[in-house]
Copies of this chain bind each other. A is one copy, B any other.
Amino acid sequence: MATSRAADRALLQIGEVAERVGLSLRTVRYYEEVGLVIPSARTEGRFRLYSHADVERLDLVKRMKPLGLTLEAMADLLDLFERTRDLADRQPTEQRAITDKLSGYAKRADERIMRIERDLAQARELRARLVAELAAAATIR
Alpha-carbon distance A106/B117, docked complex (angstroms): 20
A122 and chain B: residue at smallest CB distance: B66
* Given contact pairs A87-B140, A95-B140, A105 touches B120 in the complex (Cβ within 8 A): no
Contacts of A125 in B (CB 8 A): 63
Q: Which chain B residues border A133 with CB–CB below 8 Å?
A: 80-81, 84, 102
For A136, what are the chain B residues with a Cβ–Cβ distance below 8 Å?
Answer: 84, 87
Query: How big is the A interface, by class?
Result: 35 or more
A119 lies within 8 A of B116 (CB): yes
Give A112 Cβ to nearest chain B Cβ, in Å: 6
A123 and B112 within 8 A (CB)? yes
For this chain, the copies found in one complex come to 2
**Chain B residue with Cβ nearest A130:** B106
Other-chain residue from B65, B106, B126, B127 in contact with A63 (beta carbon distance below 8 A): B126
Is A52 interfacial (CB-CB < 8 Å)? Answer: no
By a beta-carbon cutoff of 8 Å, the part of chain A in contact with chain B is 63-67, 80-81, 84, 87-88, 92, 95, 98-99, 102-103, 105-106, 109-110, 112-113, 116-120, 122-127, 130-131, 133-134, 136-138, 140-141
